[in-house]
Amino acid sequence: MCRRQLLNLMLIMGVLLTQTGCWSSFEIEDLSLYGGLALDEGEPTETEQDLNKQGGSYPRKNLITATIQIVPVNSFGSKSKSDKGHTAQYLNISETGDSLLEILRQYSVRLERMVIGHHLKVIIISTKLAQKQSMDQILDFVLRDNDIRPSCTVFLSEGKAMDVLEASRPGEVSAFRIQGMLRNHYRTSKVMKGVNLSQLDALMNSKRSFVLQNIISTKKDLEFAGAGIIKGETGNWIGSLDQPDVESISWIKGEVQGGAIKSYTEKNVPVIYEIKSMKSKMKAKVQGDDISFHVDIQSQGRFTENWDIKNDPSKAQFMEEAEKIFEKRLSQMIDSLMWKMQSKYKVDVAGFGECLSIQHPHVWKKVKDHWDEEFSQIPVTFDIKLKITDFGSSLK
Amino acid sequence: MISMWSQFVSYIPDWTTFMQAGLTLLIPIIICYSFRSLHSMIKEQNSTEKRALSTDSSGETSGSKLAGDYKSDVELIKQAIGNNCDVHFREFIMGGYEVGATLIFVAGMQAAEHINTQVLQILMMNAEKDSKDNKSLPSNSELSAYMKQKLLPVCEIKEVVDIRDLNQSILNGHIALFIEGMPNALVMSMPNEKTRSITEPTSEALIRGPRIGFTEVLSENTAILRRQGRTENLEMTMYEVGNYLKRNLVVAYMKDIVNLDLLEEVKQRISKMDMDYFAESGYVEQLIEDNILSPFQQGQNTERPDRVISALLEGRIAILLDGTPFALIVPVTFSMLLQSPEDYYERWIPGTLLRILRFFAAFMALMAPALYISFISFHPGLIPTELAISIIEARQGVPFPATIEGLILAISLEILREAGIRLPKPIGPAMGIVGGLIIGEASVQAGIVSPFLVIVVAFTAISSFSIPMFSAGITLRILRFVGMLFAGTLGMYGTVLFFLLICSHLTKLKSFGVPYVTPISPFRINDWKDLFLRAPLPLMKQRPDMMKTQQKKRRS
């Protein structure tokens, strides 16, 4: 009786053991995360060329060079806290090929720990690559992959993308720094709201043109500088916008959360308007086949900095003058952007198309296939109202 | 038609899928059957033993009676229990009547001066005065009545004829008196049991609340219960338990509140209990519980009279055993284990908050290491990036996988805790320092465990201390290890599986017919007032629905 019970128990355990599906545990210390991914046009790095010479090669076309930023660096044994600031916190490693997945797997022949993409924060694409290949092709794997989160942000770089990942101060990981810099959107609208993978997916699928934040870098430092335009139809990079243009896009879209407008008085000394709040209303007008837009921009702000020490900010007349100056400056900025969008590049990246599709969906259906061309002919009027509410806590 | 059929066929999976499905179906069936057979096996053994014993004891009960002859009776007692060094036979001559008498008692169990003043003095001296009126003793049958009515100023006194009864009452601390010419023995009780004073219950300390706790003496415990409030509805029924060493057991309940079926069930189970000796109320708990294989307790043990009395008012039943300060409350529901009397003594907002905190702590005590292991070994993507990086850095050079590491630390913590209980009080804190600080710190320094795990395990331990019922804490501690094994093999999937397994077991479990997780699982919205939330007292107008009490309302 007892033996049979024991036999039954063994049988149960045996069945249980064969049933368990996944024994796929990977201890976290045996993994390495990559926080940043830089995509350049295919050009093997020196290390790679050396390795290739010795036979480390496989059949491939050199279309793309992917650099991943691995954190933390494998440092065996406990390192003392003091040298944490001096050694590099990351390891950048590049590989060239024609398939992103194959490249990522190729790292396994060079690294002892497998890389996982869960914690990928930023993807930087060089404009040269984006000029040659469409964004759809470049990012196809990233969008399909299950590990990589849709919250990952995409940037462009006019230089080499891998240099951006190199550029960092000691003790700092540039991928995380870039991600952190995005938060400064509310300090200045020169920093765009980041475009993450899921938004990018939607933009690419709807064939709309869009802008991505541009990053420039030196050996030691990096900076957000304007934006690159991706043409919706082709998915290629066609040109750049500078920092005031990025600000102007935010003004038109009504996404400004903070920042300043600087202008010069008649005496050619700077005065500064600090934005406290802003509202923007875009209206599409349709008359027959004619489409036109009107944008109403209203803002309240503070007269924060004044180099014109002769004039007294407490005087209403001076404030009204100042408001005019700032309005003029803003409309100049916007005009410059409109010229670039309508004449230079012939794209719409400020959300006019979206406005039309919401307000007049029937008209949108007719024009949406050739919207960028259509947009370059459409008149856009602006009504800008800046209001200075106060001049800070000093009278001078 | 044919094409449709072929399309239909193409969707039917191949035989391996069916095979797998069949095997998977077998698992719960096999588990269910094996548990059932195991359960019935235990139950069977219990009942067969009982039958054998009951025939034994029935032969014993037909005890012999006293013959009525003074000398031979005393001799009979002497033969039976006279070998004991502590049984004293005090022979004397009754003053005035000049008849022989013997006092039999056990040394140390009576107050000696009471024997001297209330028995010996009266029989040897005062009886002389009495004898002047009577001249001769009353005849056989009237003698005992005469003694009880006229001579002995003792409250508890009775006539005993049965020898076995007599022996037992002498050994239990009664005094037996034999007088020449009296056919029976007189048994008096002047107990002087050494008891400890009533102290604060150490296992269930409160900040606010009565400081009174049960003691080891049953009569005192019942008296404490009576003293909680005046009512004629508190009924206590006495049982004698134990085959070899007998002890008294009291079942207490409110006779107009308690559910009568429940009372019947409890009484039946108590009378069915079969054990040579009941050392503690834990014996009772284990013998009357529904499910022997469950890790969860099905009787709540408590030292606090206030807890018992409020349970009685909810319609529960208390079982008190002589010789232990722990009373048992049945039936038990899961929420009771996480409630403290203080929840009701404090205002309802802090009471509610503390209770929710305790539920959270219980969850953490059960799941925290399992969650940690599944995050570390299976789902690195679920950890925030910064934390993931610092965990990777901290775990560089840790030689074991997270499961083994967790087991090492958790087991050593259990050893520490066990050792802490055994140690004499002055060494206890030193032990904590050595174990907690030095071993913890040193093992991190030595790289055997990672500092994160130390945090997790310490947090788990503190969480398990915050559970008001000690034995419920043990249950969670045991299950924690099972959870760690599940997490170590199947990751988050296993952790969820483990949680579901516990939930399904709890929903199936019953304590005296009351479902264990009752306000949640057989959903009773009225009882939710006293589950996670402790509703303000004016809102708690009714006794718990789950107890199916005779009286529903708490208010008049």
Q: Is the pLDDT of residue A227 over 90?
A: yes
In DSSP terms, B452 is beta-bridged to none
> B551 exposed, middle or buried (CB, 10 Å; 0-12, 13-18, 19+)?
middle
Distance (Å) from the alpha carbon of B55 to chain A's nearest alpha carbon: 28
CA distance A262 to A247: 12
Answer yes or no: do A19 and B402 touch at CB < 8 A: no
Comparing CB atoms, the residue among A19, A71, A147 nearest residue B389 is A71
Distance (Å) from the alpha carbon of A114 to chain B's nearest alpha carbon: 12
A171 CB within 8 Å of a chain B CB: no
CA distance B526 to B530: 8
Percentage with pLDDT > 90 across chain B: 32
For residue B442, the model assigns a pLDDT of 86
Q: Average pLDDT of chain B?
A: 86
Answer yes or no: do B380 and A33 touch at CB < 8 A: yes
Answer yes or no: do B392 and A121 touch at CB < 8 A: no
A260 CB within 8 Å of a chain B CB: no
Q: Is the pLDDT of residue A335 over 90?
A: yes
Answer yes or no: do B392 and A119 touch at CB < 8 A: no
For residue B113, the model assigns a pLDDT of 79
Cα B244 to chain centroid distance, Å, stands at 21
Comparing CB atoms, the residue among B23, B38, B380 nearest residue A116 is B380
A116 CB within 8 Å of a chain B CB: yes
The tokens of A66 are what?
A: 């992917």
Answer yes or no: do A25 and B392 touch at CB < 8 A: no
Comparing CB atoms, the residue among B34, B380, B489 nearest residue A23 is B489
Residue spans of beta strands (DSSP E) within B20-98: 87-94
A19 contacts on B by Cβ (under 8 Å): 23-24, 27
In DSSP terms, A124 is beta-bridged to A38, A155
Distance (Å) from the alpha carbon of B280 to chain A's nearest alpha carbon: 31
A9 contacts on B by Cβ (under 8 Å): 34
Peptide bond into A72 cis (omega under 30): yes
B122 versus B509: the higher-pLDDT residue is B509
A and B: number of Cβ contacts within 8 A: 95
Answer yes or no: do A27 and B401 touch at CB < 8 A: yes
**Cβ atoms of B82 and B73 closer than 8 Å:** no
Distance (Å) from the alpha carbon of B495 to chain A's nearest alpha carbon: 13
Q: Determine the angle formed by the axes of helices B470-508 and B451-465, rounding to 10 degrees.
A: 90
A24 contacts on B by Cβ (under 8 Å): 378, 491
For residue B52, the model assigns a pLDDT of 46
Q: Is the pLDDT of residue B312 over 80?
A: yes
Answer yes or no: do B393 and A28 touch at CB < 8 A: no
Answer yes or no: do B385 and A35 touch at CB < 8 A: yes
Give the tens place of pLDDT for each residue, B371-422.
Answer: 999 999 998 889 998 898 888 888 887 888 888 889 988 998 888 888 888 8
Answer yes or no: do A147 and B381 touch at CB < 8 A: yes
The tokens of B79 are what?
A: 């033969």
Place of tokens 């306000």: B519
In DSSP terms, B99 is beta-bridged to B94
Q: Is the pLDDT of residue B519 over 50?
A: yes
In DSSP terms, A275 is beta-bridged to A301
Phi-psi region of A57 (alpha: psi -120 to 50; beta: other; left: phi over 0): beta
Q: Is the pLDDT of residue B46 over 80?
A: no
Comparing CB atoms, the residue among A22, A72, A121 nearest residue B490 is A22
A112 CB within 8 Å of a chain B CB: no
Answer yes or no: do B376 and A28 touch at CB < 8 A: yes
Q: What is the secondary structure of B264-330 as a DSSP string?
A: HHHHHHHHH---S---SHHHHHHHH-S-SS-SS-SSEEES-HHHHHHHHHTT-EEEEETT-S-EEEE
Closest residue in A to B486 (Cα–Cα): A20
- Secondary structure in 3-state letters for B32-49: HHHHHHHHHHHHHHHHHH
Q: A98: how many CB neighbours lie within 10 A of its CB?
A: 13
Q: A344: how many CB neighbours lie within 10 A of its CB?
A: 13
CA distance B363 to B368: 8
Dihedral sign computed on CA atoms, order A129, A135, A141, A145: positive
Give me the residue spans of the domains in chain B: 70-189, 218-332, 346-515
Residues A345-359 have a mean pLDDT of: 91
Residues B55-60 have a mean pLDDT of: 43
Which residue in B208, B376, B394, B231 sits closest to B306, CA to CA? B208
A20 versus B452: the higher-pLDDT residue is B452
Q: Is the pLDDT of residue B60 over 60?
A: no
Percentage with pLDDT > 70 across chain B: 93
A101 CB within 8 Å of a chain B CB: no
Answer yes or no: do A119 and B377 touch at CB < 8 A: no
Answer yes or no: do A23 and B391 touch at CB < 8 A: no
CA distance A135 to A371: 19
Answer yes or no: do A25 and B401 touch at CB < 8 A: yes
Q: How confident is the model at residue A327 (pLDDT cuts 50, 70, 90)?
A: very high
Q: How confident is the model at residue A67 (pLDDT cuts 50, 70, 90)?
A: very high
For residue B392, the model assigns a pLDDT of 87
3-state SS class at A302? strand
Give the tens place of pLDDT for each residue, B135-193.
Answer: 666 766 677 787 777 777 777 788 888 888 888 888 888 888 888 888 888 888 776 66
Answer yes or no: do A16 and B397 touch at CB < 8 A: no
Closest residue in B to A31 (Cα–Cα): B392
Q: What is the secondary structure of B484-503 as a DSSP string?
A: HHHHHHHHHHHHHHHHHHHH
Answer yes or no: do B377 and A25 touch at CB < 8 A: yes
For residue B62, the model assigns a pLDDT of 47
For residue B419, the model assigns a pLDDT of 84
CA distance A372 to A377: 9
Comparing CB atoms, the residue among A16, A118, A119 nearest residue B27 is A16
**Cβ atoms of A107 and A22 closer than 8 Å:** no
For residue A23, the model assigns a pLDDT of 59
Distance (Å) from the alpha carbon of A236 to chain B's nearest alpha carbon: 32
Answer yes or no: do B447 and A31 touch at CB < 8 A: no
Give the tens place of pLDDT for each residue, B93-150.
Answer: 887 777 888 888 888 877 777 788 878 888 887 777 766 666 666 766 677 787 777 7
Answer yes or no: do A72 and B376 touch at CB < 8 A: no
Answer yes or no: do B385 and A176 touch at CB < 8 A: yes
Answer yes or no: do A33 and B378 touch at CB < 8 A: no
B490 contacts on A by Cβ (under 8 Å): 20-22
Give the tens place of pLDDT for each residue, B323-350.
Answer: 999 999 999 999 899 999 999 999 999 9
CA distance B137 to B127: 10
Distance (Å) from the alpha carbon of A19 to chain B's nearest alpha carbon: 7
For residue A64, the model assigns a pLDDT of 93
What is the largest distance, in Å, between two alpha-carbon atoms of chain A?
Answer: 107
Closest residue in A to B377 (Cα–Cα): A27
Closest residue in A to B397 (Cα–Cα): A77
Give the tens place of pLDDT for each residue, A260-318.
Answer: 999 998 888 899 999 999 999 999 999 888 899 999 999 999 988 888 888 788 888 88
First to last CA, chain B: 75
Chain B residues with CB within 8 Å of chain A CB: 23-24, 26-27, 30-31, 34, 37-38, 41, 375-378, 380-383, 385, 388-389, 391-393, 395-398, 401-402, 447, 488-491, 493
Alpha helix (H) residue ranges in B331-469: 334-337, 342-345, 348-377, 385-395, 402-422, 428-432, 440-445, 451-465
- Between the alpha carbon of residue A318 and those of residues A51, A275, B147, the distances in Å are 69, 18, 122
**Cβ atoms of A355 and A246 closer than 8 Å:** no
For residue A76, the model assigns a pLDDT of 53
Show the domains of chain A with their CATH numbers. 30-74+88-241 (no CATH), 248-390 (3.30.300.210)
Comparing CB atoms, the residue among A12, A72, A74 nearest residue B31 is A12
For residue B252, the model assigns a pLDDT of 95
A391 versus A160: the higher-pLDDT residue is A160
Closest residue in B to A149 (Cα–Cα): B381
CA distance A353 to A373: 12
Q: How confident is the model at residue A2 (pLDDT cuts 50, 70, 90)?
A: low
Give the tens place of pLDDT for each residue, A22-38.
Answer: 456 788 888 888 999 99
Closest residue in B to A1 (Cα–Cα): B41
CA distance A2 to A23: 33
**Cβ atoms of A66 and A94 closer than 8 Å:** yes
B34 contacts on A by Cβ (under 8 Å): 5, 8-9, 12
CA distance B497 to B482: 11
